[in-house]
Structure 1
Amino acid sequence: MTAVTVSMAAEVYPSKPIRLVVPFAAGSGTDAVARLTARALGDSLHQPVLVDNRPGANGSIAAEVVAKAPPDGYTLFMTTNTTHSANPSLMKHLRYDPVKDFTPVSRMGNLPFMLVVSPSLPVKSLREFIDYAKVHPGMSYGSGNSTGIVAGATLSRMAGLNMLHVPYKSTPPAMTDVIGGQIQVMFVDFAAGIANVKAGKLHALGVTTAQRSELLPELPPLASMPELKGFDITSWNGVFAPAGTPAPIIDRLNRELVTVAGNKQYAAQFHGFGFEPFGSTPAELGKFVTAELQKWAQLVRDAGIQAE
């Protein structure tokens, strides 16, 4: 594109619907965040923003779709630390680069995770769970994303547990199997799990963050257990565009997304499904991703996970 073409494109942007690609299935936490964001962004841009769920391969299917899309502002990516922090350490053959193939737009906030167990499990606290798991080796834990994978492996290593990892394509089917007792435990984001916890279908034991969450203050951090001291794994959400998307379009999108994240009208809805919203500049998100790639590489190494 010439400078004149870029300027003209930015002036009329957007002139058609925008696609917001999500790397997880409907019913996941990121999907819930994406749908509210899409509705709010569509209102402010006066164009429909359509959520396109592309689950599978730990989010890499969706990441490839966006990386290969035209850099015109009409394909965006609402994603998490799974595709942009953890996958390079979890997957040997990644067909996208989380830095080179994307243009950062804005962080959208954090998605805290909690440890939940099947109601059939006779435990009501972190202490009881750890003690029970030690004398019942081979319990199964499910995962639908990188946070679940790394948190489960980290818990097993730090607490000296022998648990079997059962990977799922996305969070909802894993959660269904915990509720049904097919597997016993998983780490689930607040957004996906909070309704089932409140309904008594899942028992929540603790949060993965170093401090208690204001959203579920009754849950202790896993780090409060002596054997889990230092446990701190936080999932984040952000919006990206394909590399090469014109700066004027990125700037426009950033302004709108930061407004959405900071809007009190939407805050109650975000909080209602367990999301802590806040925005950033594109540069801040880019710098954050670089740091998170190093952080998650260390988390994966410390958890003893081998890339597959």
Structure 2
Amino acid sequence: MRWRPFASMMAARMVLTTAPAHAAERNAYPSRPVRMVVPFPPGGPTGILARVLGQHLSESLGQPFVVENKSGANTLIGAELVARSAPDGYTLLMAVDNTLVMNQFLHSRLSYDPVKDFSPIAKVADSPLILVSGKDGPKTLDELAALARAQPGKISHGYGTITSQLAGEMLKSELGLDMVGVSYRGSNGTIQGMLSQDVTFVIDGVATALPHIKGGKLHALANLSQTRIPDLPALSPAADHPRLHEMNVAVWMALVAPAGTPDAVIQKIEAGVSAALKKPDVQEKLLGAGLVPKAGTSAELKQLIRAESARWKPVIERAAIKIQ
């Protein structure tokens, strides 16, 4: 009965032989250019984020990180491309919350599994959502609620993303309001709808609305996230309202790789992202695009996806939202 010492010896030998292999793998990466897929058209905040991070990762890791826009189908096209790519760290996805969370509940048939098909790298930024009205519209949440109760089913709100649509559904549910949602194509369409007074208010990110808020054409009622907005420091969070303590909605961005990407590679990219987000010039560029840098770890991103899935599934089911 000498198999136990033999087994122990073999296990120890495996540890000793695989450890240098992992170290070599980590040190060798990257040995060629890396693709960062953005599932949106060029010019949006997600693309800006990818380009800013890509520049610093290129400098710190010694190979080009090339941004490639693959837009369409509510981020499905870009996400599927990365999910089907080789798990070697040379194709990454700059995902947003609906890619990794909401899509699985919105589509009856999804071409990828947000949990099984990706290896989380890190959350990188938040895009806080704000509630915006026209210059002659309601100035507080209570004024908005009173207006909606006086005209049930006639007050409309605009949105340009799934997350802003769901934020509107949450707002209606928590305040017990009957309002009509109006869909626009992205932030530019949403803000234009507000400037044209086609809707009573909109829910959108900061970057597109900010010039009009500062110019007095639009009014910011509330910050729907619990992340402070540097350009609007006096804007109160909606969570201060007695019936909205749980309100905390922001579009978040995260970097993921195809499932099965080696841990050593994930850790190297994660470290590079963390270092980049600490740099003042990176922070300045992201804040200028309406983004708040949020460095995180692979483990934290995995937990975030799990928690956000549990939060948004009942909201989507209650609102009966489906994308065909």
Distance 1:17 1:180 in 2: 45
Kindly provide the CA deviation profile for residues 79-117 of structure 1, in whole angstroms up to 9, marking residues without a partner as x.
Answer: 222111222222222221111100111111322111122
**3-state SS of paired residue (2:75):** helix
Q: Is 1:60 aligned to 2:76, yes or no?
A: yes
Q: Is 1:209 aligned to 2:225, yes or no?
A: yes
Higher alpha-carbon Rg: 2
Distance 1:21 1:196 in 2: 31
Q: Is 1:261 aligned to 2:277, yes or no?
A: yes
Q: Is 1:230 aligned to 2:246, yes or no?
A: yes
Kindly provide the CA deviation profile for residues 273-294 of structure 1, in whole angstroms up to 9, marking residues without a partner as x.
Answer: 3322232222222222222211
**3-state SS of paired residue (1:61):** helix
Q: Is 1:131 aligned to 2:146, yes or no?
A: yes
Q: Is 1:277 aligned to 2:277, yes or no?
A: no
Distance 1:132 1:100 in 2: 45
Question: What stretches of structure 1 of length at least 5 have no aligned partner?
Answer: none
Residue 126 of structure 2: aligned partner: 110
| More moved, 203-212 vs 232-241 | 203-212
TM-score by length of 1: 0.85
1:172 deviates by 3.0
Q: Does structure 1 conserve the Cα–Cα contact (< 8 Å) formed by 2:128 and 2:227?
A: no
Q: Does structure 2 conserve the Cα–Cα contact (< 8 Å) formed by 1:114 and 1:204?
A: yes
Residue 92 of structure 2: aligned partner: 76
Change (3 A) 1:290 1:229: closer
Change (3 A) 1:193 1:134: same
**3-state SS of paired residue (1:288):** helix
| More moved, 198-207 vs 234-243 | 198-207
Distance 1:60 1:102 in 2: 13
Change (3 A) 1:249 1:161: same
Kindly provide the CA deviation profile for residues 239-278 of structure 1, in whole angstroms up to 9, marking residues without a partner as x.
Answer: 0011122222222211110111222332233233332223
Q: CA RMSD in A?
A: 2.8
Q: Is 1:245 aligned to 2:261, yes or no?
A: yes
Alignment coverage as a number of residue pairs:
304
**3-state SS of paired residue (1:237):** strand
Corresponding letter in the other structure for 1:173: G
